[in-house]
Amino acid sequence: MTSTNPVLIILRPNRGDSPREPPGASLLTHPDALSARRPLCSIRGMGRHLPERQLTNADLEKIMDTSDEWIVQRTGIRSRRVLPDDWITSDLAVASAEAALQDAAIDRSEIDLLIVATVTPDHLCPSTACVVQRKLGMAGVPALDISVACSGFGYALSLAAGMIASGLHRNVLVIGAEAMTRFMNYEDRTSSILFGDGAGAVVVSPEGRFDVLYTDNGADGALAEMIEIPGGGAREPASDKTLADRRHFVTLRGREVFKTAVRQMSLSTRQAVEALGLTTDDIDWLIPHQANARIIEAVGENLGLPSEKVVIDIGDKGNTTAASIPIAMTGVYEAGGFLPGQIIVLVGFGAGAAWSCQVVRVRG
């Protein structure tokens, strides 16, 4: 079968000595994507779910040696969401998926692939995606989890784009969902103040309202210990000792993450706009992963972007890992922020270390 699709997809090899080096000419996009008749794929609808319950800085002050002032000044976070006691990650995912399906005005019977990006799955096995598939009543639809932490949504969107561009799948439901508070060590004031729960979802199709023009992902496993949940896997199976040592919670080397995140998200964004023949002036919305308001501000400053173009959505949510980008994007969308023709850059960095960047254009 011959294809008349004009989109050229070159999978970026990214096998250099240092994955953080500029990748040269290898990209996952059409070289002339802005004028290409067909983008890689299009986001047809989006939705999110945020639990109502809040864990405020004042609440944290009662259980650890911290202060509202310190947390706000260092992170921009005032409170974070906490899922109900009888909810699990798949419930958050389902709630966001229902909203996205409704926004996309698509019947769930038309979805032919379901991807859940999460590092806080319902359990190690089976996948959360299979539980979500059952709860959504989508029997038979292939379903898989991907575990790329804060870059999980971008990786999942890339996977959907590749599947759609190849013709293997047509309508893909992509969900980022996290129950981060279930994996917090509230005896560790450095990490536990940062994270919150939530989910965001998009329906990705050949035709939609937000054309995906570019996607690029990278990873550097040499930084694998920078952010981790060390216990509970094959390396440190659950035992009385791993429990006593609190090895089943998120740990991080905050300063190192901070610097690497700023550097990599700035670089990824520059590479993305250059690949499309644009400059950073052409960016209408920068929607970074929401790790820390100061990280996001530093990326915006590096790129010379005015603050009104840089989305900071962390104040009442905290870091929701794979959910943060679709949650922030849906927030702008629901507020009527996106205008026809605008260029949106989604960029993430996190555990792995792994990073991801997409450029999306609002259809006119």
Ligand X SMILES: CC(C)(COP(=O)(O)OP(=O)(O)OC[C@H]1O[C@@H](n2cnc3c(N)ncnc32)[C@H](O)[C@@H]1OP(=O)(O)O)[C@@H](O)C(=O)NCCC(=O)NCCS
The residue (of 70 and 87) whose beta carbon lies closer to ligand X is: 70
Q: Is 30 a catalytic residue?
A: no
Contact present, 114 and 108 (Cβ < 8 Å): no
8 Å CB contact between 98 and 47? yes
Q: Classify the C-alpha dihedral 313-120-99-350 as positive or negative.
A: positive
Q: How many CB atoms lie within 10 A of CB 346?
A: 26
One of 57, 171, 217, 319 is an active-site residue; which one?
A: 319
Annotation says 130 is catalytic: no
Catalytic residue, chosen from 41, 130, 150, 357, is 150
| Spatial separation of the C-alpha atoms in residues 7 and 42, rounded to whole Å | 13
**Of these, 90, 127, 292, 358, which contacts ligand X (CB under 6 A)?**
292
Amino acid at 221: G
**Alpha-carbon gap, residue 312 to 306, rounded angstroms:** 12
Nearer to ligand X by Cβ, of 5 and 251: the residue is 251
Asked if residue 186 binds ligand X (CB under 6 A), the reply is no
Q: Interface with ligand X includes 252 (CB under 6 A)?
A: yes
Q: Which stretch binds ligand X (CB under 6 A): 178-186, 188-196, 271-279, 325-333?
A: 188-196
Q: What is the Cα–Cα distance from 312 to 296, expressed in whole angstroms?
A: 7
CA-wise closest residue to 350 among 321, 324, 329 = 321
Kindly determine how many residues on this chain lie close enough to bind ligand X according to the rule CB under 6 A: 21
Measured from the CB atom, the residue of 153 and 338 that comes closer to ligand X is 153
Q: Is 75 in the site for ligand X (CB under 6 A)?
A: yes
Does position 254 interact with ligand X (CB under 6 A)? The reply is yes
- Does residue 142 bind ligand X (CB under 6 A)? no
Q: Would you give the binding string for ligand X spanning residues 30-69, x where CB under 6 A is met?
A: ------------------------------------x---
Q: Give the span between the Cα atoms of 123 and 126, in whole angstroms.
A: 7
- How long, in residues, is the chain? 364
Measured CA to CA, the distance from residue 84 to residue 91 in angstroms comes to 10
Selected from 38, 74, 108, 270, the binder of ligand X by CB under 6 A is 74
**Nearest distance from C-beta of residue 306 to ligand X, angstroms:** 23
Q: Does 193 bind ligand X (CB under 6 A)?
A: yes
Q: What is the 3-state secondary structure (H, E, C) of 288-303?
A: ECCCCHHHHHHHHHHC
Rule CB under 6 A: is residue 70 a binding residue for ligand X?
yes
Catalytic residue flag (residue 319): yes
**Contact indicator for 262, 298 with CB cutoff of 8 Å:** yes
Which of 160, 257, 262, 311: binder of ligand X (CB under 6 A)? 257
Which among 30, 49, 169, 289 is annotated as catalytic? 289
Which residue lies nearer to ligand X by CB, 205 or 292? 292
**Residue 300 tokens, joined:** 């915006």
For the four alpha carbons of 289, 290, 292 and 296, in that order, the dihedral sign comes to positive
Which residues have a catalytic role annotated? 150, 289, 319
Q: By the criterion CB under 6 A, which residues form the site for ligand X? A: 66, 70-71, 74-75, 150, 189-190, 193-194, 227, 252, 254-255, 257-258, 261, 291-292, 319, 350
